[in-house]
Amino acid sequence: DDPASTPTIRELDDRTVRQIAAGEVVERPASVVKELVENSLDAGADRISVAVEAGGTEGIRVRDDGVGMDRTAAERAVEEHTTSKIDSIDDLEAGVGTLGFRGEALHTIGAVSRLTIRTKPRGGGAGTELRVEGGEVTEVGTAGCPEGTVVAVEDLFYNTPARRKFLKTTATEFDHVNTVVTHYALANPDVAISLEHDDREVFATEGRGDLRSAVLSVYGREVAEAMIEVGRGSDMGDGGSAPTAEGDSPPVESVTGLVSHPETTRSTREYLSTFVNGRYVAAGVLREAVLDAYGGQLASDRYPFAVLFVALPANAVDVNVHPRKMEVRFDDESGVKQAVTAAVREALLEAGLIRSAAPRG
């Protein structure tokens, strides 16, 4: 380097800015699937079908029977920072009722793929088909289609070869897609959610609203039958939660869901699914809390199944931590952890699956 020359600071062009930003939201096919399924859920769908080709690297299609969009809405939806879900940061502070709110998913997906949206508003109105390629709307017109929305994404990262190169094998990319769709299927047992890979059905939930039957559809009978109920809908005010140093209000409102018999385990933690206010979060602290509840009852390096929903006041948790929204920040992390362990322990004790010795850790 020549010490005499200072670097020139240049302004990046819009296209480059867009592609860099896209990388924050869309890392791999599974991130596209996540955003599209969230949009379908936010649209009030009762049925969502996800189909991917070659692990999602060649094609992704998410179909829903949600509210749909009229032509104007569809055109707006693919623009930058457009959302129908919040108006200002105040809405976020108050707690968002929707999974999306950043207004960037469709725009960024459109910037790094060939995107087609076919959508028709519920209860009448014309259908619209809209195509976006590399961030530019290339076609928009009327189309015959059923009510609801189909979003198809082809050739992901075709115009960002560096990122395309980072994709793993088809099998690995599909694993990630499967994990994402599984979490949404478990979190929304009232919605019929199906997953297809290369024209083969992987699973399909019935949407009957019953968590155990969703577990049955996703993980099979052996696992479903080994699940015991946590929380039984009871709130944490009745002694279910551990007292905290922070004050009188319990750190969580409820901990509910299903956890497996200590002998129904797998060799990875990936079947410990934890949800905070309905949102899947990969929080190590919540997984630890579940494992602690089993005390010494788990064989070494074996992990149970859990589908656990932690509800807490919107203002006690910050979901606006990361664009991919997988992380959260708790005001009272140790209080939340203790409450989760206590709820799972109570269920395991009641089922006679652990003894009442002090929890490990």
* Residue whose CB is less far from ligand ADP, 83 or 297: 83
C-beta of 105 vs 218, nearer to Mg ion: 105
* Of positions 31, 39, 119, 254, contacts Mg ion by CB under 5 A: 39
The footprint of ligand ADP on residues 134-153 (CB under 6 A) is 149
Q: Which residue has the tokens 């990630």?
A: 176
Q: Assess 122 for contact with ligand ADP (CB under 6 A).
A: no
Query: What phi and psi values does residue 82 have, to the nearest 5 degrees?
Result: -115, 130
- Per partner kind, with CB cut-offs from 5 to 8 A, the member of Mg ion, ligand ADP, none near residue 149 is ligand ADP
Distance CA 322, CA 282 (A): 12
Using CB positions, name the residue nearest to Mg ion: 100
Rank residues 105 and 185 by Cβ distance to Mg ion and give the closer one: 105
Which of 224, 225, 216, 218 lies closest to 182, judged by CA? 218
CB of 99 to ligand ADP, least distance (A): 7
Number of H helices, E strands in the chain: 11, 17
Stretch binding Mg ion (CB under 5 A), from 34-42, 298-306, 317-325, 338-346: 34-42
Please report whether residue 125 would count as binding ligand ADP according to CB under 6 A. Answer: no
Angle at 302 between CA 289 and CA 236, to 5 degrees: 20
- Using only the alpha carbons of the chain, give its radius of gyration: 22
Contacts of residue 225, Cβ cutoff 8 Å, sequence gap at least 6 = none
Of positions 19, 33, 101, 110, contacts ligand ADP by CB under 6 A: 101
Q: What distance in Å separates the CA atoms of residue 302 and residue 266, rounded to the nearest whole number? A: 6
Shortest Cβ 97–ligand ADP spacing (Å): 12
Binding ligand ADP (rule: CB under 6 A), the pick from 27, 80, 85, 163 is: 85
Element (H, E) at 64: strand 59-64
CA-CA distance, 123 to 67, in Å (whole number)?
A: 9
Secondary element (H or E) of residue 142: strand 136-142
The window from 1-9, 14-22, 76-84, 190-198 that contacts ligand ADP (CB under 6 A) reads 76-84
Select the binding partner of residue 40 from Mg ion, ligand ADP, none (C-beta < 5 to 8 A, by kind): ligand ADP
User: Which position among 43, 69, 105, 328 is part of the footprint of Mg ion (CB under 5 A)?
Assistant: 105
**What is 88-131 written as a DSSP string?**
SHHHHHT--SSS--SS-HHHHHHHTSEEEEEEE-TTS---EEEE
Q: What is the rounded CA–CA span in Å between residue 295 and residue 180? A: 29
Mark residues 27-66: x for contact with ligand ADP by CB under 6 A, - for none.
--------x---xx-xx--------------------x-x
* Residue 216 near which of ligand ADP, Mg ion, none (CB within 5-8 Å, type-dependent): none
Separation between Cα atoms, residue 292 and residue 265, nearest integer Å: 15
Binding test (CB under 5 A) with Mg ion, winner from 55, 68, 100, 121? 100
Per the structure block, which two tokens stand in for 63? 């179909």
82 or 244: whose CB is closer to ligand ADP? 82
Interface with ligand ADP (CB under 6 A): 35, 39-40, 42-43, 64, 66-69, 77, 82-85, 100-107, 149
